[in-house]
Amino acid sequence: MQTIQLADYYIRIGAIKSSLSTFLKQNVFSKIIVLTDENTQKYCLPLLKNALPIDYQTIMIPAGEPHKNLDTCQIIWNSLFEAGADRKSLLINLGGGVIGDMGGFCASTFKRGMPFLQIPTTLLSQVDASIGGKLGIDFGNVKNSIGMFGNPKTVLIDPNFLQTLPTREIRSGFAELFKHALIHNAKFSIQDLLNAYHQNQSNLAAIIGDSLLVKKHFVENDPFEKGIRKALNFGHTIGHAVESAALETHEPLLHGEAIAIGMICEAYLSYQMTRLPDADLDLIVNTFTKIYPKIDLQHFDYQQLIELMQQDKKNDGNAINFTLLKKIGSASINHVANEEQIIESLEFYNDQICKHIGR
């Protein structure tokens, strides 16, 4: 069992039955309520059952990003009232980033705050969403626009959960692993990640641990994202806009798929603005176009994408703020790109995918 200690809580990586039993022996709660979605109820809850007390209760919500909204919060808050939860009860968020972000938000606002535990069950949530204290929901068509910072009691990660996770979701989670290798001198390289991706993820536990250390580095030095934590936003300014726009279509993209597009565009901006070397740009483009779906961005209205970028929480006023790369392994924060430069980066992405699909 690997333990990563943060300022206010710890993360344990290992068999869930043992880590959860230990946690529940060390902490006393008036009630235990497990929040699941329809998939984690079916695939993940059985792995927890022997570690939970017999009288635990569950709240199940529909799965997926379209349900990360105020309506679902009302279902959760109502269920917490019906279950008789109070500030000494524990909410266990068993699921991906949607459950973790929304469950943490609901727990933190219920009766001014009840404790919660994160048990992330997707690769994306294990390496990213479960650490760093960002909680919240989507509002209107703007992702994560209502929320807060708040920490769980602890985070328990078991890579075994990933065995039932669809391949597309695994690939989405890999985008955040790649991002960590791009923004920081991580223990693993882009090539190590490509190997792990193609070798059925056999050594994922070690990679998850190393990846969390990268996120910990940024989060601990800058918990409220005033400075260097912005490095973690690489690929996310354009990626979030594409993700939000795709949410409105019949073919929504997964978070990591949209971020992979964003990372190609923002690597191009880095090449233009922060002198990312040619070879690094090529490696990023080749890696991501090999793995991720090729989306023709002309399907989206570029102006709408720009407007979505302007609503990004990371901006000051209307200027669109980017985290760029100086080279692979080194991020540079607070760069403003204008509309023309951004559109050029979207066109660069389109040119690259055309090459790879032979158009």
Q: Which two tokens stand for residue 162?
A: 């990933």
Judged by CB, which is closer to ligand NAD: 31, or 240? 240
10 Å CB burial of residue 117 (0-12, 13-18, 19+) is buried
Contact residue for ligand NAD among 116, 161, 234, 300 (CB under 6 A) = 161
Residue owning tokens 């309520």: 33
Residue 179 touching ligand NAD (CB under 6 A): no
Contacts of 119 (CB under 8 A, 6+ apart): 16, 20, 44, 48, 92, 93, 94, 95, 155, 156, 157, 158
Looking at the Cβ atoms of 61 and 285, the one nearer to ligand NAD is: 61
Token pair for residue 283? 């490696």
Q: Is 356 in the active site?
A: no
169 near ligand NAD (CB under 6 A): yes
Q: Is 126 in the site for ligand NAD (CB under 6 A)?
A: no
Closest separation in Å from C-beta 14 to ligand NAD:
16
Report the distance separating Cα 29 and Cα 20, nearest Å: 13
Told to check if 151 binds ligand NAD by CB under 6 A, we report no
344 interacts with ligand NAD by CB under 6 A: no
Residue from 88, 103, 118 nearest 23 by CA: 118
Q: Which of 169, 176, 257, 266 is catalytic?
A: 176
Closest CA to 256 of 177, 144, 353, 203: 177
Helix ranges restricted to H, 295-338: 302-310
What are the strands, taking DSSP E only, across 126-271? 134-139, 142-149, 154-157
The verdict on whether 236 is a catalytic residue reads yes
Q: How far is the CB of 308 from ligand NAD (least distance, A)?
A: 14
Query: Is residue 112 flagged as an active site residue?
Result: yes
Q: Looking at beta carbons only, is 85 or 259 nearer to ligand NAD?
A: 259
Q: Which amino acid is at 77?
A: W
Tell me: does residue 230 bind ligand NAD (CB under 6 A). Answer: no
Point out the catalytic residue in the list 31, 68, 215, 230: 215
Choose the catalytic residue: 31, 233, 266, 321: 233
Is residue 280 at the binding interface for ligand NAD, with CB under 6 A as the rule? no
Cα–Cα distances in angstroms (integers) from residue 199 to residues 2, 124, 193, 195, 327, in the given order: 23, 18, 10, 6, 27
Decide if residue 61 touches ligand NAD (CB under 6 A). no
Residues at the site binding ligand NAD, with contacts judged by CB under 6 A:
37, 39-40, 43-44, 63-65, 68, 95-99, 101, 121-122, 124-125, 128-129, 132, 134, 143-144, 161, 164-165, 169, 172, 255
| Positions marked active-site | 112, 134, 176, 215, 225, 229, 233, 236, 240, 255
